[in-house]
Chain A
Amino acid sequence: MAQEQSYYVPEQSKWPIVATVGLGVTLYGVASIMVNGKQGESTTGAWVMFFIGALIMAYMLFGWFGSVIRESRAGLYSAQMDRSFRWGMGWFIFSEIMFFAAFFGALFYVRVFVVPWLGGEGDKGTTNMLWEGFQASWPLVNNPNPEAYPGPKEVIGPWGLPLINTILLVSSSFTVTVAHHALKAGQRQKLKLWLGATIVLALVFLTLQAQEYVHAYKDLDLTLQSGIYGSTFFMLTGFHGAHVMLGSLMLIVMFVRVSKGHFTGDNHFGFEASAWYWHFVDVVWLGLFVFVYII
């Protein structure tokens, strides 16, 4: 229990309040862009606000993580502190899982109940009287009211780009694990190589995903506005893509830190947390591949 007795309580910090101002200004800016844009007013001021907020957030992220890294390297953190970080990261990932669960839940509810009911089947099949003649199908390409929501020409099949992307992401989970083992064994060159490979795989994934979106919008008329299929498709894959971006950024930061000689074989939680996050992103993709693309 000797370590417990020097438990580290950081002294006053400006970062939380900077982060509050940053997040508040950013989101107020985003909301103003949307509201002003919808009302046909100028959005210039709102964009300026958004950029100022985003700059404050970037400053905060560098500063806050910077001081945590400095403290960690100064040896201020005990084993107990390390466990606090682990619990924190673990429960953060759990909260992310629940965020995705909301969207997966919406997808399942729509497919299992809403669309069949609208098509006249089941317990609430009377809803078919709203749009008589509407045929239920999935993927839903003919919406109940095609004038309000013109459906897509077709949707993206699973065995083209999505399959390639699956292979890319699953491989990247392996490469990051190899890198982790290399880090534990103290093989720095191997570590850099495999971590670098992971980042390359991540960036290729993102590029292909962007291509898929362009294809969907340009050729297939599959958009956010094309009814519930487009809504669930873009929200699920879009939030996943955003998380891949965040995960890639984390891995890139880890690469920089490794290059600077940070981390030792038994003290590298920053790296581990990024790897955990990366596996989480990977698992979510597998869920997407099965439930959005294949089934």
Chain B
Amino acid sequence: MSAVAESHSQEHHHGPASGITRWLLTTNHKDIGTMYLIFSFAMFLLGGSMAMVIRAELFQPGLQIVQPEFFNQMTTMHGLIMVFGAVMPAFVGLANWMLPLMIGAPDMALPRMNNWSFWLLPCAFLILVSTLFMQGGAPNFGWTFYAPLSTTYGPPSTTFFIFAIHIMGVSSIMGAINVIATILNLRAPGMTLMKMPLFVWTWLITAFLLIAVMPVLAGVVTMMLMDINFGTSFFDASGGGDPVLFQHVFWFFGHPEVYIMILPAFGVISHIVSTFSRKPLFGYASMVYAVGAIALLSFVVWAHHMFTVGIPLTGQLFFMYATMLIAVPTGVKVFNWVATMFRGSLTFEAPMLFAVAFIILFTIGGFSGLMLAIAPADFQYHDTYFVVAHFHYVLVPGAIFGIFAAAYYWLPKWTGHMYDEILAKTHFWLSFVGMNLAFFPMHFLGLAGMPRRIPDYALQFADFNMVSSIGAFLFGATQLLFLFIVVKCVRGGEKAPAKPWEGAEGLEWTVPSPAPYHTFSTPPEVK
């Protein structure tokens, strides 16, 4: 027993191990955060290249480059990879890096489990991506994998897809448990709940959502697995089941899931807007309550994804009003950010540019969401490019811009160097233009009746599709610039002080840049 104690007595003092074992065996939240971020960017490029295939095919009407079967695999894999491989891991990576620094903790609460959460992801995506090379091809039923498309008519690789989802779920649940345990248990003395930075608050609530709904996703894919391989009839009406049951269970997961992908970005934007306005946030408490309200409402709106499948009228009314109610706390947040900027002393470094674009463009995405929430109108919009425009407006300038903003905001803390501001601003403007070119015309296409998930379209949609494809290529190519900026920043650059942003507040700016391998081994006092 004493031998064990001795072998552990020095771990607070040594630095990172050398070589590959540093990454394979690590228990350090910064290493794990870095791995999450790198993995997420790799998946962003992979999912993005699939989007490029989609836009290349849609550049002109008619079948040009790929077969319809392969096109369907691309839309499916693009969605799955971006949601589960790019956006979610990026936020978990930010959480790993920043939560301990922001609350004054030495590490995450359960460091070994933390490492397992990460390494499960490459494993899951290895299985998922391998389905592309299997007999019958990869999943081709859309990222929402509706039954019976995915059960009765899915390719044989669907079973592998199901187990990949299971592994991602295990990873997410463990990651979320770790976040909650860290926030609830490891805050520095004096940091009461209502003194926590907003990124911490939003992640606490996101983690709760994750633990609540990832098991439901596991449940629905398990039902699929049983229907496919063991003859159950959950989603088959001839045995007394119902394909609509699939949609209910899936969207009970799926709707909170979209908040999982945006709430941490809300937290990031709150910090950045306040920092570059050199003012405290206009209303801290109302921000916290708004996030809580959004999270709770997210559990009672799922059927707004299913207005057209034939749910009872009372159901449509309930889910319509409940959905519109979400605009209230979301409005509280948007007005809060705007009021924070009002009469602030603003500067527009790259993080702030992304944050301001976030506020404007996410609001556009929110408004199109309100349009979709109106049940009778949704009968027109459902499954058109309008929906595609809507969710890309909340996910690209919402979640992804939030991640870029966070990356630029904290890169000096991570690397010890300032990034190249001119290149970063170029990255922003090219992304901004490319993204709007790509996604804004989709609103018009959808309203004019172009359905989503098709490789070919009628001639009258040709012009807008070409504009959209050009925008998508611009946006896609620009992301290589981001890779270059980050690599350049890691390798060198102007030395960053402990607090590179004049208006920034929080514990993470009290440690040197780059943050030492171990921080807050003794907790700081928060007044």
Contact = CB atoms under 8 A, between A and B. Distances in A.
Contacts of A123: 312-313
A24 B123 contact: yes
Interface in A138-187: 140, 143-145, 148-149
Interface stretch (A97-105, A192-200, A248-256, A275-283): A97-105
Interface hub of B110, B214, B215, B523 (most chain A Cβ within 10 A): B215
A257 interface: no
Nearest to B157: A35
Contact of A27 (B167, B236, B313): B167
Interface stretch (B39-47, B63-71, B241-249, B373-381): B241-249
Contacts of B182: 84
A122 B244 CA distance: 16
Contact of A87 (B163, B184, B522): B184
Interface string A70-90: 110111100010011101100
Interface stretch (A106-114, A205-213, A214-222): A106-114
Contacts of B215: 95-96, 98-99, 101-102
Given A88-B181, A224-B232, A74 B5 contact: yes
Interface in A4-39: 4-5, 7-17, 19-21, 23-24, 27-28, 30-31, 34-35, 38-39
A1 interface: yes
Given A9-B27, A71-B4, A95 B156 contact: no
Contacts of A234: 232
B8 to A, nearest CB: 6
B237 A130 contact: yes
A38 B126 CA distance: 23
B450 interface: no
A231 B232 contact: yes
From A98, A148, A229, name the one whose CB has the most chain B CB atoms within 10 angstroms: A98
A105 to B, nearest CB: 7
A19 B116 CA distance: 7
A280 B362 CA distance: 41
A118 B243 CA distance: 13
B239 A228 contact: yes
Given A9-B12, A12-B25, A123-B313, A110 B173 contact: no
Contact of A228 (B178, B230, B241): B241
Contacts of A98: 211-216
A92 interface: yes
Secondary structure dominating the interface of B = helix
Interface in B356-399: none
B160 A144 contact: no
Contacts of A237: none
A28 B214 contact: no
Interface residues of B, number: 89
Interface in B1-16: 1-2, 4-5, 8, 11-12
Contacts of A92: 173, 177
A165 B382 CA distance: 49
A291 interface: no
Contacts of B170: 23
A127 B215 CA distance: 31
B115 interface: yes
B239 A124 contact: no
A106 B249 contact: yes
Interface in B471-518: 518
A91 B115 contact: no
Contacts of A230: 232
Nearest to A27: B163
A31 B156 CA distance: 10
Given A105-B249, A144-B240, A24 B167 contact: yes
Contacts of A31: 127, 159-160, 162-163
A94 interface: yes
Contacts of B231: 224-225
Nearest to A13: B112
Given A9-B11, A17-B25, A31-B163, A91 B177 contact: yes
B17 interface: yes
Given A10-B111, A123-B313, A23 B167 contact: yes
Given A88-B181, A110-B242, A231-B234, A80 B186 contact: yes
Given A74-B5, A101-B216, A148 B185 contact: no
Nearest to B31: A12
B34 interface: no
Contacts of B248: 105, 109
Interface string B318-361: 00000000000000000000000000000000000000000000
Interface in A22-64: 23-24, 27-28, 30-31, 34-35, 38-39, 64
A5 B104 CA distance: 12
Contacts of A4: 189, 523
A198 B12 CA distance: 42
A19 B113 CA distance: 10
Nearest to B172: A95
A70 B8 CA distance: 12
Contacts of B252: 102, 105
Contacts of B284: none
A35 B156 contact: yes
B234 A106 contact: yes
A227 interface: yes
B245 A106 contact: yes
A245 interface: no
A80 to B, nearest CB: 6
Nearest to B242: A114
Given A84-B186, A87-B109, A95-B214, A38 B240 contact: no
Interface stretch (B218-226, B415-423, B458-466): B218-226
Nearest to A30: B163
A115 B219 CA distance: 21
Contact of A91 (B27, B156, B211): B211
Contacts of B521: 7
A82 B17 CA distance: 28
B370 to A, nearest CB: 26
Given A4-B189, A14-B24, A31-B162, 19 more contacts: A5-B522, A15-B112, A15-B116, A16-B113, A16-B119, A24-B120, A74-B5, A84-B181, A95-B214, A98-B215, A101-B219, A103-B219, A105-B252, A106-B234, A115-B240, A124-B310, A145-B238, A149-B239, A225-B231
29 contacts: A7-B107, A9-B27, A9-B28, A10-B27, A12-B26, A16-B25, A16-B113, A19-B116, A20-B120, A23-B120, A24-B167, A31-B162, A34-B229, A35-B159, A74-B1, A74-B5, A84-B186, A87-B180, A88-B177, A91-B177, A91-B181, A95-B177, A95-B211, A98-B211, A98-B213, A140-B240, A148-B238, A224-B226, A224-B230
3 interchain residue pairs of minimum CB distance:
A102-B219, A145-B238, A228-B240
Interface of B: 1-2, 4-5, 8, 11-12, 17, 21-22, 24-28, 105-107, 109-113, 115-116, 119-120, 123-124, 126-127, 156-157, 159-160, 162-163, 166-167, 170, 173, 176-178, 180-182, 184-186, 189, 211-216, 218-220, 222-223, 225-226, 229-234, 236-242, 244-245, 248-249, 252, 310, 312-313, 518, 521-523
